[in-house]
Amino acid sequence: MMPGAVMMPAGPEKVTAARGAISLSHITRIFAGSIPAVDHIDLEIQAGEFFTLLGPSGCGKTTLLRMIAGFETPDEGRIVISGREMQDVPAHQRAVNTVFQSYALFPHLNVEQNIGFGLRMRGVRKPERKKRVDAMMELLQIGPFAARNAGQLSGGQRQRVALARALVNEPEVVLLDEPLSALDAKLRAELQIELLRMQKRLGMTFIFVTHDQHEALVMSDRIGVMSNGRLQQVGPVLDVYEKPRNVFVAEFLGLSNIWAIEPLGGGMAAAPIGVLKIAAVIGVARMAMIRPEKIWIYNDTHAPQGRENVFPGTVREAIYMGASTQYRIELGGGGFILALDTNNQAAERSWRPGEAVAVELKPENIMLVEA
């Protein structure tokens, strides 16, 4: 390996920071004459973590990724990778590899040459290079296409080659910019699992950018939800989904029922659908949220007696989605509620529009969120 081609962690900080750990502080990027694309982001990513940046398009997630890769320079703040300050380290010297959204495979090179490109640029000798490229092609099952040109590959194969081209360099961090967005649903699901297995096996830090909340839930150790250049919430998948911090996170990650509430004391709060009993300490919170799948639906004749948060209603809409059915229920006290029920009963047991039902919102399932 050519010395100096890839910077090794150096200096006193290397003792404290693990290989592949990333620390972002106050990262800001403002494109000329515009609002900040990335606005004072502080984020710590652990070594070997699968971290997902989730957000709608234009939220700044790709810009953040490009700054970690070294394609963009932050206007403010510092990026530390494996304990090394990245301020003056150009992209080609960072031990970070990117899987591009468009794959960006070199069209004039074949699969094998594409994968070996990084090693060649780093001066890895041919026998060693071939060994590592072959091993990576074996791992990702792309050996049979080794001699093909990038243009002769299917989307899934290109995706694998792009991934192999990044992984073969054994980078400290792998950056993935919506790498699965161009694939059809079935292939995407397959590659999600494959990508995840690969990451666990190689133990590299993965930063994955996506706007697909389902993908984020499936793959990540932790998620950072971004909006308007800011991180709205960072945490383990379960926390972010179950306990969204604010309305944006709740709505972006899955379906939700959200109401403005007025505290009445004693764990009670007035909501547009009626008075709710809430298990959590209400404090200054003025918004409450419940996921549709956390709502129990009963036939009106079977509604539980003497329990909190049981409301009568009428099914207005039933959307059959295979494994589950999504109901829009008009409540007696006015307003609508979205509820999801698994279809674990015979199909004729599900509710039809017009049917009278009762819904139960268990107090511990109601979450308090910021506006």
Partner 1 sequence: MGTAAQGEARSRAWRLWITSGPGLFWIVLFLLIPSGVMLGIAFFTNSDFGSPVLPLSLDSFSQVAGYGILGWSGANFTVLLRSLLQAGVATSVTILLAYPLVFFIVTRPASLRPVLLLFAIVPSWTNQVVRTYAWMELLNPFAPVSHVAQVLGIIPPHLGLMPGNFAVLVGLSYNYLPYMVVPLYAAAEKLDWTLVEAGRDLYASGARLFFNTVFPQTLPGLLSGIILVGIPAFGDYVVPQLLGGDKAMMLGSLIADQFTFSPDWPYGAALTLIMLVFTCIGLIVFRRLTQRLGGGEGAML
For the segment 148-177, give every residue that binds partner 1 (CB under 8 A). 149, 151, 165, 169
DSSP letters, 303-327, are: PPSS-TTEEEEEEEEEEE-SSEEEE
Contact between 125 and partner 1 by CB under 8 A: the answer reads: no
Least separation, in Å, of the C-beta of 251 and partner 1?
A: 32
Nearer to partner 1, 82 or 98 (CB): 98
Sign of CA dihedral 35, 59, 102, 170: positive
Nearer to partner 1, 148 or 286 (CB): 148
Nearer to partner 1, 71 or 320 (CB): 71
- DSSP class of residue 171 equals -
Least separation, in Å, of the C-beta of 57 and partner 1?
A: 17
- Helix extents (H) in the chain: 61-69, 111-121, 126-139, 155-167, 185-202, 213-219, 237-242, 247-252
Contact between 12 and partner 1 by CB under 8 A: the answer reads: no
| CB neighbourhood size of 105 (10 A) | 21
Length of the chain: 371
Cβ atoms of residues 365 and 276 within 8 Å: no
Nearer to partner 1, 1 or 10 (CB): 1
Nearer to partner 1, 121 or 238 (CB): 121
Q: How many residues bind partner 1 (CB under 8 A)?
A: 27
Only one of the segments 35-43, 114-122, 287-295, 317-325 lies at the binding site for partner 1 (rule: CB under 8 A); that segment is: 114-122
Q: Please, how many CA atoms are within 13 Å of residue 9, restricted to the half-sphere of its CB?
A: 19
Least separation, in Å, of the C-beta of 66 and partner 1?
A: 8
Of 163, 159, 203, nearest in space to 181 by CA: 159
The residue from 65, 69, 331, 367 that contacts partner 1 (CB under 8 A) is 69
Nearer to partner 1, 169 or 210 (CB): 169
Contact between 93 and partner 1 by CB under 8 A: the answer reads: yes
Nearer to partner 1, 98 or 309 (CB): 98
Least separation, in Å, of the C-beta of 62 and partner 1?
A: 12
Residue 158 phi, psi dihedral angles, 5° rounding: -60, -40
Contact between 62 and partner 1 by CB under 8 A: the answer reads: no
Percentages of the chain per state (helix, strand, coil), in multiples of 5: 30, 35, 40
Contact between 121 and partner 1 by CB under 8 A: the answer reads: yes
Least separation, in Å, of the C-beta of 5 and partner 1?
A: 6
Least separation, in Å, of the C-beta of 91 and partner 1?
A: 4
Contact between 80 and partner 1 by CB under 8 A: the answer reads: no
* Residues near 241 by beta carbon (within 8 Å), at least 6 away in sequence: 217, 253, 254
User: How far apart are alpha carbons 200 and 40 in whole angstroms?
Assistant: 30
Nearer to partner 1, 67 or 367 (CB): 67
Query: What token pair was written down for 113?
Result: 């040459």
First to last CA, the chain: 53
Contact between 1 and partner 1 by CB under 8 A: the answer reads: no
Q: CA distances (Å), 140 to each of 133, 154, 161, 200, 312, in order? A: 11, 15, 8, 14, 54
| CB neighbourhood size of 371 (10 A) | 10
Nearer to partner 1, 87 or 102 (CB): 102
Least separation, in Å, of the C-beta of 195 and partner 1?
A: 18
Least separation, in Å, of the C-beta of 106 and partner 1?
A: 6
- DSSP class of residue 9 equals P
Nearer to partner 1, 115 or 191 (CB): 115
Only one of the segments 99-107, 193-201, 233-241, 326-334 lies at the binding site for partner 1 (rule: CB under 8 A); that segment is: 99-107
For the segment 325-364, give every residue that binds partner 1 (CB under 8 A). none
Contact positions vs partner 1 (CB under 8 A)? 5-6, 69-71, 90-93, 96-98, 100, 102, 104-108, 117-118, 121-122, 149, 151, 165, 169
